[in-house]
A and B are shown apart, each in its own frame.
Chain A
């Protein structure tokens, strides 16, 4: 269980997170929504400790995470996989090496610097690539892939870390609807089949509704909604996204794809 208590993050005078208190249970798939600048990325970065919280505590199964340093911190980061909107692969390395980056923290520094990984790591990497249907690209350079393919490689990199928790910071915001759906399906499967807890920042309401067990709404650094997707009525949505949408709030505004799930996806050629 991930426990966040009174988390605060300041950038100078700006409070990007204020008094965030949350409990995420193991195995949940949670969507975090909110408009730009609400603090969604900041929250995930604090959990992974890419950023340091200014106040408050984060703990995972009662291990305090917010205090960790050095080796212990890196071991936490390994248990807590993360994927990004911009994929954050190393463009000039091939797909295989990019996935093996998820094994770095298991390996001796000196050997890893020589790019030496045991066979079992390569086996794990290729099997994971197979899961995300990217095995045939293993020796291709990462920058030769499309966005959707890169994101799937990034997921594979996170999975070979053997994480218990997966953080996804707007994983589909730069993808077309077809690829977005594919990536979300994979995240959902990881959550269901591997029991990995998934925390996913999403720009779009309908994605959150469709894929998540639970939705957290953020606004100006505060949690303003926390509940089942079915509890998201137009009042709460307005509260999360603010008054600009007041007149005729339309979910389509925040939608990446058509509501009709069953409809075949037409735009594979993009």
Chain B
């Protein structure tokens, strides 16, 4: 055995192995240090200290308690009716929010689908076209919805239109990026089969790529819908319509009981939709694994 360990191939491997392990350790050390530095900087900039967190916690509790409605067992239906005096209006606003989210998801899916093919490295020969499409998707996706919403509220005025536009633009970028990453992982043999029989680029995308990525695209789109519903509720805070705008109003005017009433409605609706969508997504994924 000792002799075998002295053979050149073994020695060479051992040397290469030691070098590789050293490299990994240095890498770990460097990145660990960088991470620690970044954490410290972030805490410093945001003036985070555990003492401040500790002080603020009871205040947070106070605030929450104040938003609770007065409910008595004896007069429960009346109390609830009083608590939810704005139910009809809130329901309509919540519906607005859902509509904003759904439409933005639909437009985002359509736009993302159109954009994702030229944004996939394996599907276009023209590097400039690919580069422009991919970067466009990444840039539109990187800007948060709230920033778009602020811009559009200034441009189009307060209301759902601004919210819809903001979510749509962000969704197009985000979906294009996700879809194109799915495109880049497909089996390219079928594409060759189509190309070899004289199909043009659009036909190759439609029949070679789309069928392969459709399950992925469907789950990504459902997932985007879940995200958009949450975002649609939030961007109301800057005046982009829906239930968020009402919630912001309640918070800034200290209508404590309204806050809890609206938040409960929102949480309940979002959970319901999340659960359904998640079931649906898992079913799609599950079916794919079977076939």
Chain A residues with a Cβ under 8 A of chain B: 48, 50, 74-78, 81-82, 84, 86-93, 97, 101-102, 104-105, 109, 112-113, 141, 143, 154, 157-158, 161
Contact = CB atoms under 8 A, between A and B. Distances in A.
Contact of B198 (A74, A92, A109, A113): A74
Contacts of B194: 90, 101, 104
B200 A82 contact: no
A4 B63 CA distance: 84
23 contacts: A48-B196, A74-B200, A77-B195, A84-B192, A84-B193, A86-B189, A89-B190, A90-B190, A90-B193, A90-B194, A90-B207, A101-B193, A101-B207, A104-B200, A104-B203, A105-B198, A105-B199, A109-B200, A109-B203, A112-B203, A154-B193, A157-B197, A161-B197
A234 B214 CA distance: 53
A161 B53 CA distance: 72
Contacts of B219: none
Given A84-B192, A113-B203, A78 B211 contact: no
Interface in B194-241: 194-200, 202-203, 206-208, 211-212, 214
Task: Report the 4 A-B pairs with minimum CB-CB distance, sorted nearest first.
Answer: A88-B193, A105-B198, A78-B198, A77-B198
A87 B190 CA distance: 8
A93 B210 CA distance: 10
B196 A104 contact: no
Interface residues of B, number: 21
B128 interface: no
A74 B199 contact: yes
Q: Does more than half of chain B's interface fall in helix, strand or loop, or is it mixed?
A: helix
B211 A82 contact: no
B288 to A, nearest CB: 10
B291 interface: yes
B196 A50 contact: yes
Contacts of B195: 50, 77
A143 B291 contact: yes
A126 to B, nearest CB: 18
A82 B196 CA distance: 6
Contacts of A74: 198-200
B79 to A, nearest CB: 56
A158 B197 CA distance: 7
Contacts of B214: 92
Contact of B196 (A77, A90, A143): A77
Contacts of B193: 82, 84, 87-90, 101, 154, 157
Nearest to A110: B202
B198 A90 contact: no
Contact of A82 (B187, B190, B197, B208): B197
A109 B198 CA distance: 12
Nearest to B195: A50
Nearest to A48: B196
Given A90-B211, A105-B198, 12 more contacts: A81-B196, A82-B197, A84-B193, A90-B193, A90-B212, A97-B207, A101-B193, A101-B197, A101-B207, A102-B197, A104-B200, A104-B207
A208 to B, nearest CB: 22
Which of B189, B193, B202, B212 has the most CB atoms of chain A within a 10 A radius of its CB? Answer: B193
Contacts of B208: 90
A252 to B, nearest CB: 31
Contacts of B291: 141, 143
A139 to B, nearest CB: 15
A199 B214 CA distance: 36
A118 to B, nearest CB: 16
A101 B272 CA distance: 43
A88 B192 contact: yes
A154 B199 CA distance: 15
B8 to A, nearest CB: 26
Contact of A78 (B192, B197, B206): B197
Contacts of B202: 109, 113
Contacts of A104: 194, 197-200, 203, 207
Contacts of A88: 189-190, 192-193, 196
B181 to A, nearest CB: 19
Nearest to A158: B197
Contact of B199 (A48, A87, A101): A101
Contacts of B192: 50, 84, 88
